[in-house]
Amino acid sequence: MLKTGKKVISLCLVLLTAATMLISCGQKPPQSETPEEVTDGVKLWWAYNTENFMQDMEYDYDRDSTLRLYGIKGDVESVQLMITPDKDVIEFDFSMGDIATQSGAVISADCFEIYAEHYMEVMSSYNPESFFGNYPDALIPMENYRFRRYNSINAGKNQGIWLNLNIPADAQAGTYTGMGKLTLDAEEYNVPVELTVYDVTMPEEVHPQSSYLIWYDFVASGEGAADQEIYDSYYWFLANKRIMPDLPGPHITNNYGVYVDYVAENLAENPKIPCYALPYALHVVEGVNHLDEDGVLDILNRLADKNIELRKAGNETVDLFKKAYYYLGSICDEPDSPEDFELVRESDLIISNAKFTVAEKLNDYPDLKESLLSLKHIVTVAYSQELVGTDTVGGVQTWCPKFRFFHSEAQRQEYAERQNSQQRLKGENVWWYGCLDPRAPYPTYHLDDNLISSRVISWMQYDYGIEGDLYWCVNWYTSHSGVRDVWTDAETVPETPGDGYLLYPGREFGVKGPISTLRLESIRESREDYEYFWLFAEKIEEYNRENGTQYDANALLQTYFEGLYDGTIPVRDSDLFHEKRLALLNAVEALHTDLDAAVESLVK
């Protein structure tokens, strides 16, 4: 039930105690030996990348201005600088210099991306713990923000600067220090930067699967134009952040032959691409969408023929089916009626029959045949006995319920049983997703939620053995009631600010392509955390092979998961989260530098 009783940001809120405000925002004051710096009436303080501080809220944090980052080689690490002046600032700017170790290793200033945090007004929300006011969301490249003359700060207001540091894969491990320069009108302030690089390298291959839908018709409406370049910019913007879009643009997917060639040339053997959706055609009967059977056979046959062609040309490992899946969002989205259930079975049976038919031409390529028969069909639905199926009657092959359906141990066990089911030749799979529901206290991507919420999703995903993550739209540049101004209206649906968009159109600031958000960067960071778990597990498996042991990596990882969430409800505590993350980083580094000693310490 939606609640209408809300807290409204106004001058009177400043009179609230800092503790009350911090609790209401779901944030805990961090501990620091050095207080925030107040210089010439300007307060400068660092912030975690799991915090989203409002523009018009007063915060009482004992923090200095040193920006501290921790990551592994090939990682992208982020941190925030918060600025609160006591007088109007007409222009602000920030730049970075090189950072270096005492031994002379250097990470160039070019490795830093610097963004101004752009604020969105939230004046309604389902969440009774939210404040009304201005939340940071869009991350505008600093040079574009400055060029558009948005770079001013009103007296007493907070302004965030977000830094992404692309740590080179060949960086030397150790501690780097350097200086950033903040300019507020005619005044300059030195901002110390410290980076700890752990002696581990981020895998080039992306392991967590995901499907974040780009609605390409909204790309056109948001950007004012639609062409191949702009479509590609959206697709690869997400993919380069370890967040996998469902499909490339219509210039590719509208022609199956073009799509199959694109998969072969750009996706199938690209380590950054863990999965990709297959396009599909519809036929409409009495106003109801049905899956086009001939279209499914057509694209699977084309993929098989192309793969055989590539194998005969000498590529003995290419597999165009291994990463492919079906998600029929315009047919089987959140089925909840007998008629919907019948559509699920009908669609799934069409896919299953096509797989078995096309598999016959792959008898000489058993690995390809295996991949084709294992191709997923994702349905956004919670477990229901009515939807359990087989390859001959159809049903749900890949379950994809909302986050809240994994809250209890009994629920998680239910999905684990589906993963172990033998009712289908190649088994069943389990993904999950979020949208406007579930709502806080469950994890969300909503604009007024604490960033811890989106950050821990990949932690829970790994812990609970969930194979993939789906999100319904990253660029809903309109609303369900009509056109909206994406820069002033935070709601695509009433009282759910931020739902359906994790990007902004770049044209407002002269950017050719999408503009990121704090929420999207939080998801990217979460994906990178997932790779830490993968690196941890790889070393435990290596130890088991070498020593004949059977240590369970997931059991050993529980110490890092404990306390961060209860079921699927995150504990919105940035201090605790970063304490756990640093402990995990130390453990991963230890496993990579002295495996025997590290495992001995972990299993005590």
For CA atoms 117, 118, 122, 126, the dihedral sign is negative
Q: How confident is the model at residue 62 (pLDDT cuts 50, 70, 90)?
A: confident
* Residue 373 neighbours by CB distance under 10 Å: 18
pTM of the model: 0.93
Q: How confident is the model at residue 484 (pLDDT cuts 50, 70, 90)?
A: confident
For tokens 């749900």, name the residue.
Answer: 396
Q: Which of 162-176, 384-398, 472-486 has the lowest mean pLDDT?
A: 472-486
In the chain, which residues fall in CATH 2.60.40.10? 11-200
In this structure, are residues 530 and 207 in contact, taking their beta carbons and an 8 Å threshold?
yes
The amino acid sitting at 457 is I
pLDDT at 36: 59
Structural fold of domain 11-200: Immunoglobulin-like (2.60.40)
**What percentage of the chain exceeds 90 in pLDDT?**
90
pLDDT at 30: 39
pLDDT at 263: 98
Q: What is the DSSP string of 397-456?
A: SEE--BGGGGSSHHHHHHHHHHHT--SSTT--EEEEEESS-S-TTS----TTS-THHHHT
Flag whether pLDDT at 19 surpasses 70: no
Flag whether pLDDT at 576 surpasses 70: yes
pLDDT at 1: 28
Q: How confident is the model at residue 500 (pLDDT cuts 50, 70, 90)?
A: very high
Kindly give the residue spans of alpha helices, DSSP state H, lying in 150-266.
216-223, 228-239, 250-253, 256-262
| Bridge partners for 195 per DSSP | 69, 176
pLDDT at 40: 75
pLDDT at 33: 41
Q: How confident is the model at residue 38 (pLDDT cuts 50, 70, 90)?
A: low
pLDDT at 37: 66
Backbone angles phi, psi at 218, to 5 degrees: -80, -25
pLDDT at 498: 97
Q: How confident is the model at residue 458 (pLDDT cuts 50, 70, 90)?
A: very high
| Bridge partners for 564 per DSSP | none
Flag whether pLDDT at 447 surpasses 80: yes
The C-alpha atoms of residue 527 and residue 217 are separated, in whole angstroms, by 27
Q: Which two tokens stand for residue 385?
A: 């006995």
Q: Which whole number is the average pLDDT over 566-590?
A: 98
pLDDT digits (tens, 9 = 90+) for 580-593: 999 999 999 999 99
pLDDT digits (tens, 9 = 90+) for 305-358: 999 999 999 999 999 999 999 999 999 999 999 999 999 999 999 999 999 999
- Under DSSP, the state recorded for 360 is G
**3-state class percentages of the chain: helix first, strand second, coil last, to nearest 5:** 35, 25, 40
Flag whether pLDDT at 238 surpasses 70: yes
pLDDT at 26: 36
Domain range 209-476+505-529, CATH class: alpha beta
**Residue 438: is the preceding peptide bond cis (ω within 30°)?**
yes
In this structure, are residues 463 and 554 in contact, taking their beta carbons and an 8 Å threshold?
yes
pLDDT at 273: 98
Flag whether pLDDT at 3 surpasses 70: no
pLDDT digits (tens, 9 = 90+) for 174-210: 999 999 999 999 999 999 999 999 999 999 999 999 9
pLDDT averaged over every residue in the chain:
93
Backbone angles phi, psi at 129, to 5 degrees: -85, -5
For tokens 């009350």, name the residue.
Answer: 20
The C-alpha atoms of residue 324 and residue 414 are separated, in whole angstroms, by 25
Q: Which whole number is the average pLDDT over 568-590?
A: 98
Flag whether pLDDT at 475 surpasses 80: yes
In the chain, which residues fall in CATH 3.20.20? 209-476+505-529
Closest by CA position to 165, among listed 139, 195, 202: 195
The C-alpha atoms of residue 247 and residue 474 are separated, in whole angstroms, by 13
pLDDT at 482: 73
pLDDT at 21: 33
